[in-house]
Amino acid sequence: MRIQNEELLLHYLARKDNRAFRHLYGVYFVALKSIAIRYVKDDQTACDLVQEVFISLLESTHRFISGDEVKYFLYSALKNRCVSYFRKQQVRDRYQRELLDTASEMGSFWEKVLEEDVYANLMAAIEQLPPQCRLVMQLTLEGLKISEIASRLRISEDTVKEHKKNGKQKLARMVENPFLISLIFP
């Protein structure tokens, strides 16, 4: 439906007559939607924003004095809706990033707790080994090579290898996950 007379349009609008809203919707919807799409880059979101603009016009208690004022209201309301949409998106994006960061930190926290627990259990098991075997395993954990351990303890490399082999076997029986022993002591 086309309302040709601006005065009649304003009269209908003031009375909240559906004819005025249908007319304005038909005249401005496509233009408003194309502007919204340029900003929000999503067809459905743009349609939703334009619908909200027309709802705000319907709910408005303002008494318009010209067709240009109505047009200004529609474009202004759309601009405000787009700005509001971006603010909400920024808050949502920031919240999601913080949530991911927190989840990552919690994951790191639990990884550290698990590492500490495994390390504490391993150290407790090593403490139960015979003295010479315990020393070999502790020095291996510190990263020393067989030759360096032999030199430091003043024993042969073969003896170091034997202590290491026996230590791995005993530790594998003492800890919850024997596979870890083969990873820690290759």
Residue extents of the structural domains in the chain? 6-95, 128-184
Burial grade of 105 (CB within 10 A; 0-12, 13-18, 19 or more): exposed
Neighbours of 19 (CB within 10 A): 15
Residue 179, pLDDT score? 67
Residue whose token pair is 């318009």: 64
Q: Which amino acid is at 91?
A: V
Residue 106, pLDDT score? 66
Residue 176, pLDDT score? 72
Among the listed residues 180, 176, 167, the one whose alpha carbon sits nearest the alpha carbon of residue 138: 167
Residue 161, pLDDT score? 95
pTM value? Answer: 0.51
Three-state SS for 141-153 is HCCCCHHHHHHHH
The angle at the Cα of 18, spanning 12 to 49, to the nearest 5 degrees, equals: 110
Residue 101, pLDDT score? 72
| CATH architecture entry for 6-95 | Orthogonal Bundle (1.10)
H/E segment holding residue 128: none
Full pLDDT tens readout for the chain, 186 residues: 566 777 888 888 888 888 888 889 999 999 999 999 998 999 999 999 999 999 999 888 788 888 889 999 999 999 999 999 988 888 888 877 877 777 666 666 667 666 777 778 888 888 999 999 999 998 988 888 999 999 999 999 999 999 999 998 888 888 776 666 766 776
CA distances to 56, 96, 99, 103, 128 from 138, rounded to whole Å, are 74, 44, 40, 35, 12
Residues 6+ apart with CB under 8 A from 33: 46, 47, 50
CA distances to 7, 14, 54 from 68, rounded to whole Å, are 12, 15, 16
**CATH 3.40.50.740 applies to domain 128-184:** no
Residue 172, pLDDT score? 84
